Amino acid sequence: KLFCLCNEVEESEVRKAIRKGELYFLPAVSEATGAGTGCGRCRSRIQELIDEEKKRL
């Protein structure tokens, strides 16, 4: 499903970028995927994904 409407980024892309790049810092995830660089509405959700992925470590 579409995750960042501004930049048309899918949730799976964000998750993959976090895992592959070991990105646990929001700006790094935004830079890698483009998500969160527009209106910012999805940023709290990106942080949630980061936190979820961190728990898997």
Told to check if 35 binds ligand FES by CB under 6 A, we report yes
Token pair of 44 as six digits: 């709290």
Nearest distance from C-beta of residue 12 to ligand FES, angstroms = 15
Choices 4-12, 14-22, 47-55 (CB under 6 A): range interacting with ligand FES: 4-12
Q: How far is CA 8 from CA 13, 54, 55, 57, in A?
A: 10, 24, 26, 28
Q: Are 33 and 14 in contact (CB under 8 A)?
A: yes
Told to check if 36 binds ligand FES by CB under 6 A, we report yes
Site residues for ligand FES per CB under 6 A? 4-6, 35-42
